[in-house]
Amino acid sequence: MPERITEVPGPALATLTQDRFSRPGWIYERKLDGMRVLASRSSSEVRLRSRTGADAGKSFPELVDALVAVDAPDFVVDGEVVAFDGAQTSFALLQPRMHVSNAAKARRSGVRVVYYLFDLLHLDGHSTRGLPLRERKALLRDVFDWDDPLRFTPHRDADGEAYFEQACQQGWEGLIAKRADSAYQSGRTKDWLKFKCEQGQEFVVGGWTDPQGARSGFGALLLGYYDEDGALVYAGKVGTGFKTSLLASLSARLRALERETPAYAEHTLPSAPVFRRGVHWVTPRLVAQVAFSEWTRDGQLRHPRFQGLRTDKPADKVVREVRGT
């Protein structure tokens, strides 16, 4: 049993694909719009860690309580913490919990969260990472008593295309297709694939524009991602999806990061002089989750909508997700 969750290699990550399929030897799970969390229990101590290794225990103290109470040997599990808005998982609703660093304040927030577990990495001092996924999920299902806020992530063994169509009709973010006999591998592989109903990904915030009319704080966020050479590429701006309270708090964070020159590769920025009017640059540290309809031919986002800030992914790891086959 690892002494610390940081001794466990990083989480397995799914690769975005445009290919929707139903194949023997694959399982299909609902893609949840929340915060990825690895949890470990050693004796009576529970640790929650985000995808970057940051401590998430104070943000979700009720999950710590539930994992302490599990009548099972010590473990390391992988899952997604979500908040529901009706029948849909809401990243925006989860935001107030993700950024809380005080357990008492988190409990008073009024935002109810659940922890969907979908993989088992260690059990009773033994690594299970090398077992086939289907065996790991069977162990996970049998070891835990499934009461809220802990939930087992169900899956289908077939009909991936029909399930994806159903997911989109029901307003889900999509599906995760997983190779049923695969071992648990850290990093992004093609053993786990993302079927997305709505395009969306993380973007680095590289600046903001002045507000117009009665709006306060800022007008829009300037977005970008890092290319293979490590250059920050401009991807457009997003000006919708912000609550009034967020405009004020985020504006203060932006001003604290303000700088004189753009962090973007200059050749990726629009050349029109009007683009520079009312624009402020920032050191690229903030990461925004943005939904959009499509990429334009010139590499800009069409119909972007701000969903929230992410703290579970470092800015220098944000790249453009390319739909493959």
Q: Among 31, 137, 194, 237, which one carries the catalytic annotation?
A: 31
Per-residue pLDDT at 9 = 66
For residue range 168-194, what is the model confidence (pLDDT) as tens digits? 888 888 999 999 999 999 999 999 999
Peptide bond just before 149 cis, omega within 30 deg: yes
**Residue 69 phi, psi dihedral angles, 5° rounding:** -80, -5
Per-residue pLDDT at 1 = 53
| Sign of torsion over alpha carbons 62, 64, 69, 75 | positive
Per CATH, the number for 5-196 is 3.30.470.30
Q: Would you call 194 a catalytic residue per the annotation? A: no
**pLDDT class for 57, splitting at 50, 70, 90?**
very high
For residue range 105-162, what is the model confidence (pLDDT) as tens digits? 999 999 999 999 999 999 998 999 999 999 999 999 999 989 999 999 999 999 999 9
**pLDDT class for 86, splitting at 50, 70, 90?**
confident
Q: Which CATH superfamily is domain 200-317 in?
A: Nucleic acid-binding proteins (2.40.50.140)
Q: What b/e sequence results for 220-231 when a residue is b if at least 16 CB atoms lie within 10 Å of its CB, and e otherwise?
A: bbbbbbbeeeee
| Residue positions counted in the chain | 325
DSSP letters along 148-166, please?
A: TTEEE--EESS-HHHHHHH
- Boundaries of every domain in the chain: 5-196, 200-317
pLDDT at 293 over 50: yes
Per-residue pLDDT at 324 = 45
pLDDT at 13 over 50: yes
Arithmetic mean of pLDDT, 292-314:
89
For residue range 103-117, what is the model confidence (pLDDT) as tens digits? 999 999 999 999 999
Arithmetic mean of pLDDT, 58-63:
96
For residue range 33-45, what is the model confidence (pLDDT) as tens digits? 899 999 999 988 9
What is the residue-averaged pLDDT of the chain? 92
Arithmetic mean of pLDDT, 245-272:
94
- 217 three-class SS: coil
Per-residue pLDDT at 150 = 98
If phi > 0 it is left, if psi is from -120 to 50 it is alpha, else beta; for residue 279 that is beta
Looking at per-residue pLDDT, the higher value among 95 and 203 belongs to 203
Q: Look up residue 28 and give its two tokens.
A: 């299909």
CA–CA separation, 167 and 21 (whole Å) = 14
What's the predicted TM-score (pTM) here? 0.74
CA–CA separation, 179 and 24 (whole Å) = 9
DSSP letter at 32 equals P
